[in-house]
Chain A
Amino acid sequence: MVPTSFYVFLAALLFTIGAVTVLVRRNTLIIYMGIELMLNAANLAFVAFARQFGDVAGQLFVFFVITVAAAEVAVGLALIVTIFHTKHSVDIDAISDLKG
């Protein structure tokens, strides 16, 4: 008996928190976690709408999102490790070589 809008609102809150985490934190790893949180928030909205419309297509999209997220984490962590070898830091602000 929960209104769908509650679920969607929760998803919106989690998404915003994730986005703010990405923008505010300097630890690259935590930024990645923020991204994961944003993806999770989107998943929640997908599942909620899938339930409301009684269509499993929304759940399948979650499935694909999880897969893509896993791939993204694998590549992202490899990037972080590589960067750490040159900068000896996971501080995102240490990487500013493209400064204009």
Chain B
Amino acid sequence: MSLMLLFMLMGAVALAAAMGLLLARNAVYAALFLVLNMLALAVLFLSLGAPFLAMVQITVYAGAVMVLFLFVVMLLGAEVLPEEGGPIPWQKPLAFVLGGVLIGSLSWLIFVEATGMGRILPPPADYASPQELAMHLFQRYLLPFEVTSVLLLVAMLGALVMVQVERRRRARQQESQGS
């Protein structure tokens, strides 16, 4: 019963934070709402027997990634933008309609079509311990693991190159203006 209470509580927090992200006018608030959402999810991960993932969620997502977001938001001074009007005003109502259809059909799928999915019980003590995860990660999923490391490297290089090219272009512009 306590598991149910926990789920309800954290589900409500996560939903509220998500709605906050959707509606916040200020990008900084939006980011903070997202952090709150992720923390709530981390708690839910814990209740699902994934302590390691919960920690990763907090450190990597709520920590590193969101700090990066906040950093860029403040660097660019892009906290507030006029949201109303714009060149495609018909986009918004259409989006809400589509979102409604999506959640409607998903609900239909979950509660009508795919009944009897089972129940979540408190996890056994040794379920998904970091050791067990590591065993799987470095044995069965070693190749994907290595590939992701390459992916990260490529992403890092890509980010660097993009900024570098931009800087060089501006340097050339200044040079031609100067001469």
Which A residues fall within an 8 A CB radius of B?
1-10, 12-21, 23-27, 29-30, 32-34, 36-37, 40, 43-44, 47-48, 50-52, 54, 56-57, 59-60, 62-64, 66-75, 77-82, 84-85, 89-91, 93, 96
Which B residues fall within an 8 A CB radius of A?
1, 3-4, 7, 11, 14-15, 18-19, 21-22, 24, 27, 30-31, 34, 37-38, 41, 44-45, 48-50, 52-53, 56-57, 60-61, 64-65, 68-69, 72-73, 75-76, 78, 81-83, 86-88, 91-92, 95-96, 98-99, 102-103, 106-107, 110-111, 114-115, 117-121, 123, 127-128, 132-133, 136-137, 141, 144, 148, 151-152, 154-156, 158-160, 162-163, 166, 170
Residues on B with beta carbons closer than 8 Å to the beta carbon of A85: 166, 170
Please pick, from B57, B107, B114, the residue contacting A66 in the complex, using a CB distance under 8 A: B57
What distance in Å separates the Cβ of B80 from its nearest Cβ neighbour in chain A? 8
**Knowing A1-B119, A30-B27, A77-B72 touch, does A12 contact B65 (C-beta < 8 A)?**
no
Residues on A with beta carbons closer than 8 Å to the beta carbon of B102: 16, 19
Q: Is the CB of A10 within 8 A of B14?
A: yes
**Knowing A10-B11, A70-B60 touch, does A20 contact B96 (C-beta < 8 A)?**
yes
Residues on B with beta carbons closer than 8 Å to the beta carbon of A75: 155, 158-159, 162
Specify the main secondary structure of chain A where it touches its partner: helix
CA of A75 to CA of B155, assembled, Å: 6
Residues on A with beta carbons closer than 8 Å to the beta carbon of B137: 60, 63
Residues on B with beta carbons closer than 8 Å to the beta carbon of A21: 21-22
Q: Is the CB of B88 within 8 A of A40?
A: no
Closest to B24 in A: A30
Q: Is the CB of A26 within 8 A of B86?
A: yes
